[in-house]
Amino acid sequence: MTPIGSRPPSVDTTALRKVQPRFSGIESGHGACQGCGQALAARLVLEAAGPDVIVANATGCLEIFTTPWPQSAWTVPWIHSLFENAAAVAAGIEVALRAQGRTTRVLAFAGDGGTFDIGFQALSGMLERNHDVLFVCFDNEAYMNTGVQRSGSTPHGAWTNTSPAGRVRQGKRHFKKDLLAIIAAHGIPYAATASVAYPSDLRAKVRRALDVSGPSFLLLHSPCPLGWGHDSALTISVDRLAVETGLFPILEMERGHVVGSMKIRNPRPVHEYALPQFRFRHLLAETPEAREELEHLQALADANIERYGLLSDAPGPRDSGGADTVRRGGSRWG
């Protein structure tokens, strides 16, 4: 047993960072929690998008933890205005760049609060006006920045501070808003969902979204260890289960039509997803109410699998079992 990872004293990490073979749009030293899914997700999106972008960021964790005044973790132009107007700000930048004849791409970043609820109106307007912007929603399924309050994205049965679990209610009573269906209704060229557990798929979708002209939308599931109540080491494992249970379907849409999905090679029962998460743990209690709600959650997962035809007929390189298979020397990531 030889520990070889302790940084050799001779290694100059500042120099090493300059020769990394991937672009880093968010630098180290940001204040995200340990194991933050959103910090990882935002870095992966920018790795795929490259340096020639401008980011308009809604209020939220990402905005807070990357910009501890007077510092910034961003290495690309970045602007924050308000919670509700990331799409509007991005639209304005896009129009200005177009007027100047520049090809820099515009990204809008927001959490699920800034997308599903507070920023929804601006988003809908941006899509309707056909702005050439990629809007990325980092979906951690509650208002985490303000202390874990329910959002329109919080799934059914999940505990939050404003959807507590007790004798009367088993967590959130309502369902997760089917935002993708609303996005589809705008008939935009490209919309997709992705998960931090499948970075190769995520990167391909960012590149595809930037390849189309006109509005595109990416719903990016990114676990929050603090708000979901799981171990910080389990961010990827938990999100893989979100996909493999069917609770978070991985889809691609062109002009509102579902044109592709990540098939599930080995579907997992929802209790495996619930087990490591505090927000679902009450569903595992030995009470009739908990059992019923867990079955309800399973039924919602099954309904997703049925609706989008997520079951795999034969193992393939792009299904949930193949999309993250490792290759020696890292060639998988492309």
Residue numbers of the site for other proteins (CB under 8 A)? 1-8, 10-11, 13, 16-17, 19-21, 24, 26-32, 34-37, 39-40, 43-44, 66-76, 199, 225, 231-237, 240, 315, 321-322, 324-330, 332-333
Please work out, in degrees rounded to the nearest 5, the angle formed at the alpha carbon of residue 121 by the alpha carbons of 117 and 125.
145
The least distance separating other proteins from the CB of residue 245, rounded to whole angstroms, comes to 14
The least distance separating other proteins from the CB of residue 137, rounded to whole angstroms, comes to 18
Between 260 and 322, CB nearer to other proteins:
322
Between 205 and 240, CB nearer to other proteins:
240
The least distance separating other proteins from the CB of residue 10, rounded to whole angstroms, comes to 7
Between 6 and 103, CB nearer to other proteins:
6
User: Which residues does residue 108 pair with via DSSP β-bridges, in sequence order?
Assistant: 56, 135
The least distance separating other proteins from the CB of residue 199, rounded to whole angstroms, comes to 6
Between 17 and 173, CB nearer to other proteins:
17
Between 240 and 279, CB nearer to other proteins:
240
The least distance separating other proteins from the CB of residue 243, rounded to whole angstroms, comes to 11
For residues 184 and 103, is the Cβ–Cβ distance under 8 A? no
Hey, is 9 helix, strand or coil?
coil
DSSP assignment of 273-310 equals HHTT-HHHHGGGSSSHHHHHHHHHHHHHHHHHHHHHT-
Please work out, in degrees rounded to the nearest 5, the angle formed at the alpha carbon of residue 224 by the alpha carbons of 221 and 228.
105
Between 116 and 198, CB nearer to other proteins:
198
End-to-end CA distance of the chain: give it in Å, rounded: 32
User: Which residues does residue 139 pair with via DSSP β-bridges, in sequence order?
Assistant: 221
Tokens of 172: 């959130």
User: Which residues does residue 80 pair with via DSSP β-bridges, in sequence order?
Assistant: 57
Between 71 and 146, CB nearer to other proteins:
71
Between 51 and 166, CB nearer to other proteins:
51
What is the rounded CA–CA span in Å between residue 295 and residue 139? 24
What is the rounded CA–CA span in Å between residue 273 and residue 244? 9
The least distance separating other proteins from the CB of residue 200, rounded to whole angstroms, comes to 9
The least distance separating other proteins from the CB of residue 53, rounded to whole angstroms, comes to 13
For residues 188 and 197, is the Cβ–Cβ distance under 8 A? no
Please work out, in degrees rounded to the nearest 5, the angle formed at the alpha carbon of residue 245 by the alpha carbons of 243 and 250.
30
User: Which residues does residue 107 pair with via DSSP β-bridges, in sequence order?
Assistant: 55, 134
The least distance separating other proteins from the CB of residue 270, rounded to whole angstroms, comes to 18
Between 25 and 157, CB nearer to other proteins:
25
DSSP code of residue 165? B
- Amino acid symbol at 150: R
The least distance separating other proteins from the CB of residue 129, rounded to whole angstroms, comes to 28
The answer to whether the bond into 70 is cis (omega within 30° of 0) is yes
What is the rounded CA–CA span in Å between residue 252 and residue 208? 10
